[in-house]
Amino acid sequence: MLTKRIIPCLDVKNGRVVKGVNFEGLRDIDDPVALARFYNDSGADELVFYDITASFEGRPLFADALRRVAAEVFIPLTVGGSINTLADFDRVLKCGADKVSVNSGAIRNPSLIAEAAKRYGDQCVVLSLDVKRVNGAFHVFAKGGREDTGLDALDWVRFGEDHGAGEVVVNSIDTDGVRNGFDLEMLSAVGDAVSLPLIASGGAGRREDFLTLFALPRVDAGLAASIFHSREVEIKALKRYLNENGVPMRL
């Protein structure tokens, strides 16, 4: 039976993990390899790395970190952040990424989705979007959620599916950081719009939020960052809890 997936997300800057990571027993808590290994041992089903390095000079540091992670951790790795061209796909795939997530880069240049799918296969192209309600509609926001593109989120994911995206990650700006549960209304709407695997992001605060999330049949995975990094929710215990409550999990 196909399981639902739990995916921690790590922000990486200049080759080091940033943002609220607080682990006991890990000597080097900023080291992407140490954290990847920790999450792998905790039962994470995949890992997502976002390169938030602002400078061009920092890119090789990310590539090196990714290469080291891929050499030691043998679960799927998705990479996002600053993916604007096929050359960016190439750069991270060569370092061991399995999937590449595009967001603003695809909004600026929508043909990137089809070009990347043609060259690397649909399974490799993850369309990631930040969504916020505007006058009752779901709008796609760019630039890390700061800019309303005016694009309708449901139209955008349908476009992505038609042009070869293999998976969708939807982050709700409305629920992100609130820790009061995922944006079920928006996720249902996106799930009904496309038949691609759907990863939900934004709003997880407690383990119960994942149980509510997976009650939506069209959601395949839950992604979160801070609650895993802070260890408020431990992945192993979370997966056991979900499994006991009828959600298929890889234990």
Partner 1 sequence: MIAIVDYGVGNLYSLTCSLRHIGVEARVTRDEAELRAAERIILPGVGAFGDAAGQLRALKLDGLLRELAGRGKPLMGVCLGMQLLFDRGLEYGVHEGLGLIRGQIVPLGPIAPGLKVPHMGWNSLDILKPDDPLMRGVRPGDYVYYVHSYCAQGCGEALVAASQYGVAVAGVVRSGNVCGTQFHPEKSGEVGLAILAAFAKGAASC
Q: How far is the CB of 37 from partner 1 (least distance, A)?
A: 12
CA distance 88 to 80: 10
List, in sequence order, every residue forming a beta bridge with 170; answer none if it has no partner: 129, 200
Q: Does 2 bind partner 1 (CB under 8 A)?
A: yes
Question: What's the min distance (Å) between Cβ of 34 and partner 1?
Answer: 17
Q: In the complex, what is the shortest distance from the CB of residue 149 to partner 1, in angstroms, rounded to a whole number?
A: 27
The correct pick among 49, 50, 120, 214 for binding partner 1 (CB under 8 A) is: 120
Nearest approach in angstroms of CB 53 to partner 1 is: 21
Round to whole Å and give the CA distance between 210 and 235. Answer: 11
User: Max alpha carbon distance in the chain (Å)?
Assistant: 48
- Smallest separation (angstroms) from partner 1 to the CB of 6: 10
Work out whether 243 is an interface residue with partner 1 (CB under 8 A). no
Residues 6+ apart with CB under 8 A from 228: 8, 39, 234, 235
Which of residues 67, 133, 158, 240 is near partner 1 by CB under 8 A? Answer: 67
One-letter amino acid at 14 equals N
Q: How many CB atoms are closer than 10 A to CB 230?
A: 12
Q: Of the candidates 34, 96, 145, 188, which one interacts with partner 1 according to CB under 8 A? A: 96
Instruction: Report if residue 8 touches partner 1, rule: CB under 8 A.
Output: no
CA geometry: angle 25, 181, 130, nearest 5 deg? 90
Give catalytic status of residue 11 as yes or no: yes
Q: Which of 166, 202, 203, 222 binds partner 1 (CB under 8 A)?
A: 166
Q: How far is the CB of 134 from partner 1 (least distance, A)?
A: 29
The residues, ordered by sequence, that sit 6+ positions from 111 with a Cβ below 8 Å of its Cβ are 163
Task: Choose the stretch contacting partner 1; rule: CB under 8 A; options: 24-32, 47-55, 117-125, 170-178.
Answer: 117-125
**Contact assessment for residue 44 and residue 7, using Cβ atoms and an 8 Å cutoff:** yes
Does the footprint of partner 1 cover residue 240 (CB under 8 A)? no
Instruction: Give which of 223, 235, 219, 212 is closest to 3, Cα–Cα.
Output: 219
| Among 35, 65, 221, 242, contact with partner 1 (rule: CB under 8 A) | 221
Residues 121-140 close enough to bind partner 1 by CB under 8 A: 121-124
Which of 31, 51, 130, 220 does the annotation list as catalytic? 130
Q: Which residue has the tokens 């997936």?
A: 5
From residue 237, how far is each of 9, 22, 206, 242 by CA, in Å? 18, 18, 12, 9
When asked if residue 168 is in the footprint of partner 1 (CB under 8 A), the reply is no
d(CA 109, CA 16): 29
- When asked if residue 232 is in the footprint of partner 1 (CB under 8 A), the reply is no
Q: Which residues bind partner 1 (CB under 8 A)?
A: 1-3, 5, 40, 45, 67, 70-72, 74-76, 93-98, 120-124, 166-167, 195-197, 220-221, 250
Positions marked active-site: 11, 130
